Chain A
């Protein structure tokens, strides 16, 4: 009965095409946003645990939000347009370094513009590495995106201009200023990141349920048929690359500026790319919600793994735990690909179907 739809009539196409056609869902989402925007910061302000500690924001909420954003971007490319990418770590790096260089070299510009420049630079790079996708498909493209990963790993390590000739190669982002307010506390950065993430989530939702989203999915499901009904593969694929890497670039810039503060060239290594891919697969290919669920899941695994053995009374060495973590990720990927290729988001929608019928099974 929780999900009872009776009495909710749709009388126009606009209503039928609404973001959340069912009232219960609209209220849940609104509630969630209120908690995230108002509830959490006020609890931090009032010192209510666990939100009284900086740890929750800097080690859990900020990474969760920023990586969700990156996973959202990757999902546009992999989940909606069906083009695989193993180079998302590199696109994050491009975003971070572009934002850093803009901020350092043009200090008179607002920081938000610097972050934006990270997205633009990543989009440009994404389009450049997406160009081969016009000639090649699937696995070949995976190799092309790996090339991006290796090239940018090298570029930011070896070409000192990008790190502003910092002797160690490690760079520090300037503090974040928004309209004259300096965001020093984690809570403040949390609010900035949350705002950006929510805006992007709605924006991407709009794109994927509109004409361009259908073009992406058509290319994903059957590119030849898509071309025959008049979809230009060049346009569809390159917009997917541009939008996807723009978002990943912004995420990279936020990761550097709002989460790390200072970072080294190998922060955005190929491991980052794999983790993002795992988030998207486990969360659900072609689902906005999936990006968030997958990120939460991938972030939870190491936390559980690092605490569980001690809790069970058999503490393990750090290296054992890190190997175990890798093995668990590997197994999870295989299990999800076999058992639920559409990931957690699909499980969620199945649960919703059940709830709509509940308490009657049919």
Chain B
């Protein structure tokens, strides 16, 4: 029993990372109707930029200052990416079909991946932002020996929770947030009441870039920064399907469900199927779910008009 719970908790905590990546997708989809295939690449780029800047600064500054400086540097890179994307990809493709925009973000992913690695190198880098790595024992009283949890994961979950609360407040309590939601509903109408669509896109992509940076820090602390992050982020796509493309709570619940389901499946079903089913399990779950409830757990059903 304790073992099952341990697997479940481990899965839930790794689900936090999926949820963070999915959150980046949702933000951009909500505001611009674009499924940003490059979200994973943005995580990779943010991680690479951070690691490189931290290493450079560590020689001349104390640890916390180097980390802070690296964060600012990586954030600046993400702002630049957001601006360039808005300027050179989104604006020229205004009013094109969702599919064209999606394919353009595949192109964007290729560009970000390759330029990131050309500039920052393509080895595997360790990332340390000073989060404790000690194992933590939970529920000592209930189970014999308690449940073994990585302290890093708990910190990750806490940081992610703070980020989500901040984002929700931003969307619902600020004027920019309101404008973002208006633009999401109808580009043309939002423009006609004076909401500058290019600015909105820039803001949203910046926020998504910062979310990607946080995801990179948490993910990198755990597994290091390497090229496969860009692909691991594809794991967030089933999360979107489960949670709905437009729902922030959906991204979080979906992420947790996929994280937990995947680990449980790997531990209990994997051995029967030859192992490695983590690779596709989330997709198959999402696909079966699509057939039952296409709009996702929290997505709105849209009435089609002609």
Contacts and interface: CB of A to CB of B under 8 A. Distances in A.
Direct contact between the two chains A and B in their complex (CB within 8 A): yes
Contact of B279 (A135, A144, A153): A153
Interface residues on B, range: 35 or more
Given A143-B238, A326-B113, A334-B104, 8 more contacts: A144-B287, A150-B283, A157-B276, A277-B103, A327-B110, A330-B106, A330-B112, A337-B93
A219 interface: no
Contacts of B284: 147, 151
B98 interface: yes
A39 interface: no
Given A138-B99, A139-B35, A147-B283, A337 B237 contact: no
Nearest to B305: A224
A167 to B, nearest CB: 15
A225 B274 contact: no
Contacts of B111: 326-327, 330-331, 334
A143 B279 CA distance: 14
* Closest A-B pairs by Cβ, 5 of them: A330-B110, A333-B107, A147-B283, A330-B111, A326-B114
Contacts of B108: 330, 334
Interface string B55-98: 00000000000000000000000000000000011001100101
17 contacts: A143-B283, A154-B280, A225-B306, A319-B122, A323-B114, A323-B118, A324-B114, A326-B111, A327-B111, A329-B110, A330-B113, A330-B114, A333-B110, A334-B104, A334-B107, A337-B104, A338-B89
A324 to B, nearest CB: 7
Contacts of A276: none
B50 interface: no
Interface in B110-156: 110-115, 117-118, 122
Contacts of A324: 114, 118
A142 B35 contact: yes
Given A151-B284, A331-B107, A84 B99 contact: yes
Interface in B223-248: 231, 234, 237-238, 240-241, 245
Contacts of B106: 274, 277, 330, 333
A98 interface: no
Interface string A129-155: 001100110111011101100110110
A333 B122 CA distance: 23
Interface string B265-306: 000000001111101100110110011001000000000101
Among A131, A150, A325: residue with most chain B CB under 10 A: A150
Contacts of A151: 280, 283-284
A150 B276 CA distance: 11
Interface of A: 82, 84, 131-132, 135-136, 138-140, 142-144, 146-147, 150-151, 153-154, 157-159, 224-225, 228, 270, 274, 277, 281, 319-320, 323-327, 329-334, 337-338, 341
A139 B283 contact: no
B100 interface: yes
A257 to B, nearest CB: 26
Contacts of B240: 143
A174 B112 CA distance: 41
B84 to A, nearest CB: 11
B20 interface: no
Given A146-B234, A330-B107, A136 B122 contact: no
B98 to A, nearest CB: 6
Contacts of A333: 103-104, 106-107, 110
Contacts of A131: 291
Given A333-B107, A334-B107, A143 B274 contact: no
A224 B88 contact: no
Nearest to B241: A143
B108 to A, nearest CB: 7
A143 B245 CA distance: 12
A336 B269 CA distance: 45
B277 A154 contact: yes
Contacts of A153: 279-280
Contacts of A225: 306
Contacts of B273: 158
Contacts of A136: 290, 294
A140 B283 CA distance: 11
Nearest to A135: B294
Nearest to A144: B287
Q: Which of A139, A142, A228, A331 has the most CB of B within 10 A?
A: A139
B109 interface: yes
A327 B280 CA distance: 28
B102 A84 contact: yes
Nearest to B122: A319
B35 to A, nearest CB: 5
Contacts of B294: 135-136, 140
Contact of A142 (B102, B109, B118, B291): B102
B107 A337 contact: yes
A27 to B, nearest CB: 36
A295 to B, nearest CB: 17
Contacts of A337: 93, 96, 100, 103-104, 107
Contacts of A84: 99, 102-103
Nearest to B304: A224
B122 to A, nearest CB: 7
A159 B274 contact: yes
Contacts of A150: 279-280, 283
A143 B286 contact: yes
Given A144-B287, A323-B122, A338 B93 contact: yes
Contact of A146 (B122, B237, B274, B276): B237
Interface string B9-44: 000000000000000000000000001000000000
A281 B99 CA distance: 11
Nearest to B240: A143
Contact of A334 (B89, B122, B286): B89
A132 B290 contact: yes
